[in-house]
Structure 1
Amino acid sequence: MDAVVIGAGHNGLVAANLLADAGWDVEVLEATAQPGGAVRSGHITAPGYLSDLFSSFYPLGYASPVLRSLRLDEQGLTWTHAPDVFTHLLPDGRAATVNRDLTTTMASMEQFAAGDGERWRRAYEEWCAASPHLLDAVLGPFPPVRAGLRLARRLRAAGLLRLARRVVLPAREMGRELFAGQGGALALAGCGLHTDLSPDQPGSGVYGWLLAMLGQEHGWPVPVGGSQRITDALVDRLRARGGRITYGARVTRVLTARGRAMGVRTADGSDRRARRAVLADVPAPALYLDLVGASRLPPRLAEDLAHFRWDGATVKVDWAVSSRIPWRNPAVAGAGTVHLGADLDGLSRYATQLAASEVPRRPFLLLGQMTTADPSHSPEGTESAWAYTHLPHRESWSADEISAHVERIEAVIEDHAPGFARNVVGRHVFSPADLEEADPSLVGGALAGGTAAVYQQLFLRPVPGLGRADTPVDRLYLASASAHPGGGVHGAPGANAARAALARDRRVTGGWYHAMIDAAHRSVYSP
């Protein structure tokens, strides 16, 4: 065969589809019994209640040039929206809500400070000036030469400098600069907490700005029928183009000779030869240290991997609720996603406790109302809901520790929605270990393939180097969220790996391309 793809997560499936589009013979080897990685659905709480097992709302997936180019609508993928995009619910009961209708969002922000509605509009207009080319630059290979040039022409020098400054701002400082009240600032900071960054860390603001403004522009849609529909569409598309997926095929070794990837070996001892490329949708430490082996790597790369940092561990709870959630503030009822349990100072305290390896006594929650977003998730008048929060990343958690934290999670919801607990008719808990067992790429319950901190982004992801899918092993490519641009369901790491493999294989460019990559790796990893 031409290529082997290790892992049938969404990035692996995107990579396989793009290679199949180019006429390559592709096989995907998946260690578990089903595809999708962290993009899957199932009935785990009560009969008739569908849960998205891991990821749920997809602003990046909906807007992603990568996924759009695959035309998954032709495989039956359709999207739907909750009435409101998201709401940040403050401890005092006030709610800052983003709606796809700009005037509705402005009215919500205006409640917190006179003029903040207009300030939100201006922030959104600044986003719109950059967004046509910004996503291409963010999600494409690094460095983003073509998209960067288009963005430069659009914004000019002064606009680029302001954008560069915004990229490194902490979320707290960005909120202070853009808004007079807490509403707009919390909308940004709460979105920033979808990563593992504190509102006070450099770079946290850009994540909040990106997600909040994507919500204003596109919403945070969900696939009709659950997140599994994204995976099903990718699988169906690949099979229609001759690609194959083999399940229960755990890869234990990338086979190399003379510095080049030749294929893989699976746990049953069988070998797959790959004439053109091996692409790995697995975490970077697993690829380099387990599948390739430190002895086959430049010594400095192995040393750098010792400093690779995961994002935080995660506890996720799914509920089947026999009614809609009884929020004290009815403004929350229409939100697909609810940020719950903290004001701006509370977000900072929560993040500081995690950084100090402490268990937050009052966790900040991301809560999803799935039936509100897609009525097919549960019977009419009920709710299929979930919430997750982070814990420090560590080796293990006892059942008692997880149970105690689930009580804290439910107490936060009960404070804002009295009667919630008595309407729960089914519950399922994913501890960090449960998440990793269900998807081996979610190491220790880390959702993003590594920290979003600036020291592990762009050309520093996963370790100092090119920030590209290419590896020091010829024809071996990293296609997971551990590669640039990182976590999220947008397909960019898989697409970048496929494009790198195709570029390496083209005769007209193969010689200089491979020489350039080799020279770059030597400059980084030579003694």
Structure 2
Amino acid sequence: MQSADAIVVGAGHNGLVAANLLADAGWSVLVLEATPHPGGAVRSGYVTAPGYLSDLFSSFYPLGFASPVLNHLGLGDHGLRWTHAPDVLTHLFPDGRAATINRDLARTMESLEAFAPGDGQKWKNAYDEWLSVSDAMLNTILTPFPPVRHGVSVVRRLGAGGSLRLARRLLLSVREMGSEMFAGDGGTLLMAGCALHTDLSPEEAGGGVYGWLLAMLGQQYGWPVPVGGAQRITDALVARLEQRGGRIVYDAPVERVLIARGKAMGVLSAGEPYRAYRAVVADVPAPALYLDLVGERWLPPRLVEDLAHFRWDGATVKVDWAVRRKMPWKNPAAAGAGTVHLGADLNGLTRYAAKLATDEVPQHPFLLLGQMTTADPGHSPEGTESLWSYTHLPHRGHWDPDEIAAHVERMESVIEEHAPGFKQEVVGRNVFSPADMQSENPSLVGGALGGGTAAAFQQLFLRPIPSLGRADTPVDRLFMASSSAHPGGGVHGAPGSNGARAALARDRALLGDAYRGVISTGNKLIYKS
């Protein structure tokens, strides 16, 4: 029987973060990964045409670049380097106008000033407000709930009145937030497009915070990509873990968490037991962890009832293209942007979100599009573009291949509207349907990227369900470290960090004063004389 202090279920980036932090604490760590590859949704590959590298799932990483969790790991020492597109983000309007974020604040202000006099200064004012709280805000968001210490820091910086105004802003829909901050459409659309990286509509309470956060991070840090593709993040995490003695076993799907007397003792994979001496840390979605790996026998009945109301975020269709020349944008403002939002103005975004909410397929979808070679020239030959785009669909159990093919045609038609001649320049294409995504990464259930909805009723102490707002679970020595846990989706490593911290805290509490003379050496506990 193989054994370790900690068994980590899943080698997604959160599982790898947890494994690294536990290894840093001197624990022996064994990671079991269901697929042949580490990284989960942080991977790259050649799937369109020779010489065209694609980031298979996630791509641009403002939260990853700014994350105190990932920065603490020093991944630069293991080969991770970052690069930026000339422009961070451009939102193309249906009428041909464009709003652009550039890391040069003056250039962003100039773009927004074209929509309404004074909006450039209003953007600067919003950015100055962000800078006053950005460090404390990121630490508040990316640490375990309740974030007492960093929350107090925000209050001290803003004062009582400023803190209340910030709290109000965090509850606004992105439409309301934009209307209060800007006179023209440009600033609002930049934030609204960012908010729709989640499954929230422009009208939904609490949606504004996502748009504000991503837009302000774009202004402060940009939306960088790893040199050589998303895989470099995973490669760095794996290299760091192995340097510290951690091990990863691939093609090892976990079937069950082994529990005795209410404690997680290990896991079962392919009929083989793996012993965990101190903790099992699971980077898997909440329903899979509790209902499949643990089972109702070990769970409070109310928890099982609450899981029936767990809501996934929307399904996703992602397409990668190999384009033999640079994109033929009608508006040249899009040419230098790493990320382009297109297909809708604010009302169009509301209609698009309403279709998804009513289980309908949007006939004119809103697209998030990435120009990877523009951001990192190594993604394809000079003068070409490695392109991707994704859009959301309703979360369903099954999609017919013909439905997916028809929606890919709609996606390409939206791009063609803004870049005439695009289709004839495509020399290779890869489509990931929702089912394909789940096949590649079992945690992307039904093509859901966020581990569960970003709606306010499933956030903070309500994530994944009421009473489970932390990494701890009802099973002793079992901890959740996936995006189903607070603070949710995105490549920032916080759920993995929170899971590892909870495991370490539980271990310290277990030892306590009565066990001061006990030291851990590998897999055994030895008493000092």
Do Structure 1 and Structure 2 share a fold, with TM-score over 0.5?
A: yes
User: How far apart are the structure 2 equivalents of 1:132 and 1:73?
Assistant: 21
How far does residue 294 in structure 1 lie from its aligned partner after superposition? 1.2
**2:368 is the alignment partner of 1:366:** yes
Report the aligned-residue RMSD. Answer: 1.0
Residue number in structure 1 paired with 2:96: 93
User: How far apart are the structure 2 equivalents of 1:303 and 1:76?
Assistant: 45
Structure 2: unaligned runs, 5 residues or longer: 515-529
Q: Give the % identical residues.
A: 73
Q: 1:382 aligns with which of 384, 388, 391?
A: 384
Change in 2 beyond 3 A, CA 1:220/1:115: same
How far does residue 146 in structure 1 lie from its aligned partner after superposition? 1.1
Q: Deviations over 1:259-318 (max 9, x none)?
A: 110000012x11011010000000000000000001210000000000000000000000
**2:128 is the alignment partner of 1:128:** no
Residue number in structure 2 paired with 1:57: 60
Residue number in structure 2 paired with 1:79: 82
SS, match of residue 337 in structure 1: strand
TM-score by length of 1: 0.96
How far does residue 152 in structure 1 lie from its aligned partner after superposition? 1.4
SS, match of residue 245 in structure 2: coil
SS, match of residue 484 in structure 1: coil
User: How far apart are the structure 2 equivalents of 1:74 and 1:163?
Assistant: 37
SS, match of residue 469 in structure 1: coil
How far does residue 239 in structure 1 lie from its aligned partner after superposition? 0.1
User: How far apart are the structure 2 equivalents of 1:168 and 1:446?
Assistant: 24
User: How far apart are the structure 1 equivalents of 2:93 and 2:513?
Assistant: 58
User: How far apart are the structure 1 equivalents of 2:425 and 2:77?
Assistant: 39
Q: Deviations over 1:94-117 (max 9, x none)?
A: 000000000000000000001000
User: How far apart are the structure 2 equivalents of 1:33 and 1:293?
Assistant: 26
Q: 1:394 aligns with which of 376, 393, 396?
A: 396
**Match for 1:278: what amino acid?**
V
Residue number in structure 2 paired with 1:249: 252
Residue number in structure 1 paired with 2:487: 485
How far does residue 400 in structure 1 lie from its aligned partner after superposition? 0.6
Q: Deviations over 1:41-87 (max 9, x none)?
A: 00000000000000000000000000000000000100000000000
User: How far apart are the structure 2 equivalents of 1:186 and 1:510?
Assistant: 53
**2:480 is the alignment partner of 1:468:** no
Residue number in structure 1 paired with 2:142: 139
**Match for 1:472: what amino acid?**
P
TM-score by length of 2: 0.96
- Maintained 8 Å contact 1:253/1:264: yes
Residue number in structure 1 paired with 2:122: 119
Residue number in structure 2 paired with 1:443: 445
User: How far apart are the structure 2 equivalents of 1:426 and 1:469?
Assistant: 42
Structure 1: unaligned runs, 5 residues or longer: 513-527
- Maintained 8 Å contact 1:479/1:497: yes
Q: 1:38 aligns with which of 37, 41, 56?
A: 41
Residue number in structure 2 paired with 1:170: 173
How far does residue 156 in structure 1 lie from its aligned partner after superposition? 1.2
Residue number in structure 2 paired with 1:150: 153
SS, match of residue 2 in structure 1: strand
**2:308 is the alignment partner of 1:306:** yes
Q: Deviations over 1:194-238 (max 9, x none)?
A: 000000000110000000000000000000000000000000000
Change in 2 beyond 3 A, CA 1:299/1:511: farther
SS, match of residue 394 in structure 1: coil
**Match for 2:349: what amino acid?**
L
Q: Give matches, 1:138-287, under 5 Å.
A: 138-267=141-270, 269-287=271-289
How far does residue 508 in structure 1 lie from its aligned partner after superposition? 7.6
- Maintained 8 Å contact 1:503/1:509: no
How far does residue 510 in structure 1 lie from its aligned partner after superposition? 5.6
User: How far apart are the structure 2 equivalents of 1:466 and 1:370?
Assistant: 38
User: How far apart are the structure 2 equivalents of 1:175 and 1:331?
Assistant: 22
Change in 2 beyond 3 A, CA 1:510/1:108: farther
